[in-house]
Amino acid sequence: MINKSLKELAAMLASKDISSVELTQEYLNRIDRHNPEINAYISLDQEKTLAQAAAADQMLAQGTASALTGIPIAQKDIFCAKGWQTTCGSKMLENFIAPYDAGIIERFNAVGSVNLGKTNMDEFAMGSSNETSYYGKVQNPWDRRRVPGGSSGGSAAAVAARLCAAATGTDTGGSIRQPASLCGLSGLKPTYGLASRYGMIAFASSLDQAGPMAKSCEDMALMMNVMTGFDERDSTSLNREKEDYTRDLGKPLAGLRVGLPKEYFAEGLEAGVAKVVEAAIDEYRKLGAEIVDISLPNTMLSIPVYYVLAPAEASSNLSRYDGVRFGHRAAEYDDLMDMYCKSRAEGFGAEVKRRILIGTYVLSAGYYDAYYLKAQQIRRLIAQDFERAFEQCDIILGPTAPSTAFKAGEKADDPVAMYLQDIYTIAVNLAGLPGMSIPAGFAPADDGKELPVGLQVIGNYFDEARMLNAGHAYQQVTDWHTRMPEGIA
């Protein structure tokens, strides 16, 4: 049951082989067993969840169901959900109960999907290991001593441990793809503007994008059909015709031009990861794809550019948490300024404070031109690299992360080493392109343990359907996406 695809689960629900209430209860039981150790969920509400499942069963009985009706989905705790605690992994929002639904939540509710609970995450989506959460670190189901990646680490761990049928995540610089790679599942960041940001707690507004996390590309295509679409409440939402992201699944890959950026296979990539990615590329050759060597010369500038622009936007977005209107307020203070200072000092964690300070600095009058403006100019160059590359190829392949999952605490005292985990993913966000990670095999870690490796697939703007077909074709001839960690049956 827990390994079945969304399509298979939908067929079982439609044929009355199982009810949504029964399926949901199965996942709730698994969460009871495994979540105390893995810590994938921040908040659960069994009463609300089962009520949604019962309503889904009514839709199924009335014949008004769609592909995801009755399917239990885990929601990243960055999305407001009416009546649910919504914390963004921070003490600052520990007592915040959302008064409305985010656009993404509304879309899942409209088709009768079931909200299993809110998943753990790095505080305000700032992190690559899920160690900055106020609610404690998430453990990687493949090795409990290791991180699941971040910031969508709770969603990734929930899918990997089969504590949900699928999950939502958000990706600002790799926060869907990197944990998908480290936990051995599929994760997709859509083209910027395809999925509504309304009710998604902001980190960096020009970079944040919601996307699906699931076992396979077919599952993600079904989720994309629900998650995407114009939302007039979101000023960055794109008003374009609705697509069916399953439409290309099953098409042959003969003639598909696959670009390999030389910069993605240079110094810094672990040998074991490189070997797995090269084997995946060989599979694409066998499937009829044409391999093309390309260059993305400004790739190595993406990290410094991102860590100017993202903190700058974060310093602006997080200024609303002042202890006045909502969020944490210090219990004792002398005056208004003291309340601001103490509330923020107590409510924000160390990584969030670090990024606010960096962002405020680069936006200050004396440094705006030298840092922020220059970073925006290089961002344009990075996007132009991709534009030139897609004149030579249809999709780009490479590693998602430079290594397999690292041990908890290993990089906690070295922010730069942590930031470098996103070296292959950040440029995609800076350019606003779609990118995804799919399981490609296993590589030995430092202690010899075999851990998941992700293959990154990057597409041109609005080319998600072709990307999903490219991933689906690979998953038809491999079984990496069906593997699950030991000890979580």
Residue 1: predicted pLDDT: 83
d(CA 127, CA 216): 25
Which tokens hold the place of 343? Answer: 């509330």
CATH of the domain at 219: 3.90.1300.10
The answer to whether residue 457 sits within a structural domain is: no
The answer to whether residue 419 sits within a structural domain is: no
Q: List phi, psi (to 5°) of 406.
A: -95, 165
Q: Which domain holds residue 118?
A: 6-256
Residue 77: predicted pLDDT: 98
Read off the DSSP letter of residue 293.
E
The answer to whether residue 155 sits within a structural domain is: yes
The answer to whether residue 446 sits within a structural domain is: no
d(CA 190, CA 428): 10
Alpha-carbon dihedral angle through residues 153, 142, 4, 400, given to the nearest 10 degrees:
60
The answer to whether residue 221 sits within a structural domain is: yes
Comparing CA positions, the residue from 250, 282, 290 lying closest to residue 392 is 290
Residues contacting residue 211 through CB under 8 Å, at least 6 positions apart: 168, 169, 170, 171, 176, 187, 188, 189, 190, 195, 224, 227
d(CA 95, CA 327): 7
3-state DSSP helix/strand/coil % of the chain, to nearest 5: 40, 15, 45
Give this prediction's pTM: 0.96
Residue 413: predicted pLDDT: 83
d(CA 349, CA 343): 12
Q: 3-state DSSP call for residue 459?
A: strand
Q: In what order do the strands lie in the sheet with 450-459?
A: 41-43, 114-119, 72-76, 166-171, 209-214, 186-189, 435-444, 450-459, 395-399, 257-261, 290-294
Residue 416: predicted pLDDT: 85
The answer to whether residue 437 sits within a structural domain is: no
Between 20-38 and 6-14, two packed helices, what is the crossing angle to 10 degrees? 140
Which tokens hold the place of 88? Answer: 């963004």
For the beta carbon of residue 446, count every other beta carbon within 10 angstroms.
Answer: 11
d(CA 187, CA 439): 9
Residue 415: predicted pLDDT: 85
- Dihedral over Cα of 220, 224, 225, 226: its sign: positive
Residue 362: predicted pLDDT: 96
d(CA 31, CA 22): 14
Residue 381: predicted pLDDT: 98
Which tokens hold the place of 412? Answer: 């906690």
Residue 223: predicted pLDDT: 98
The answer to whether residue 240 sits within a structural domain is: yes
Q: Which residues does the annotation mark as catalytic?
A: 76, 151, 175
* Tokens 């780009």 found at: 396
Exposure string for 209-235, b = 16+ CB within 10 A, e = fewer: bbbbbbbbbbbbbbbbbbbbbebeebe
Residues of the chain with pLDDT under 70: none
d(CA 429, CA 171): 8
> Do 344 and 315 touch, CB atoms closer than 8 A?
no
Residue 412: predicted pLDDT: 84
d(CA 366, CA 362): 8
Q: Distance between the two ends of the chain, CA-based, in angstroms?
A: 11
The answer to whether residue 454 sits within a structural domain is: no
> Do 220 and 214 touch, CB atoms closer than 8 A?
yes
- Split into its structural domains, the chain has a count of 1
